[in-house]
Amino acid sequence: MTRFAKVLCVIYGATALFLAWAAVQSGMANSPWIAVLFAAASIVPIIAWLREAEFVDKEAEALASSERAARVRENEERRAIREAADALQHVCCERWWTSLGIDHDPTCAKQRRSA
């Protein structure tokens, strides 16, 4: 949680406590409707606090998901490079490569010698 989010949550908590205290004071002063309004208003900062915490959780989840996707993409790239290197290890000469494995260069070591 960032410093700003922590400060915001502290402000939400202080506001909820103040509104709850105002509801109690209004109830003691024989103003039941105002006490009910203050009590209802004290719930709003608590809801905001919960939404802020949910936002932080979703942000952390999105960061972890993007890091996981980057690792998967990096592994796929490494695998593709490794497969290409393996395929190129079996290539013996340029003519073999361009003739799709039918013919070899005269100097190729893998050329079959006919007697």
Residue 64 has a pLDDT of 87
**Region of residue 20 (left: phi > 0; alpha: psi -120 to 50; beta: else):** alpha
State whether the Cα torsion 51-52-56-62 is positive or negative: positive
Tell me the per-residue pLDDT of 46-86, one tens digit each, with 9 for 90 and over.
Answer: 898 888 888 888 888 888 888 888 888 888 888 988 888 88
Residue 99 has a pLDDT of 75
The answer on pLDDT for 104 being more than 50 is yes
- Cα(26)–Cα(12) distance, integer angstroms: 21
Token pair listed for 80: 């593709």
Token pair listed for 13: 């908590």
Residue 115 has a pLDDT of 41
Q: For residue 36, give the 3-state DSSP assignment.
A: helix
Tell me the per-residue pLDDT of 7-17, one tens digit each, with 9 for 90 and over.
Answer: 888 999 999 99
Residue 25: band (very low, low, confident or very high) from pLDDT cuts 50, 70, 90: very high
Residues in the chain: 115
- Cα(92)–Cα(61) distance, integer angstroms: 49
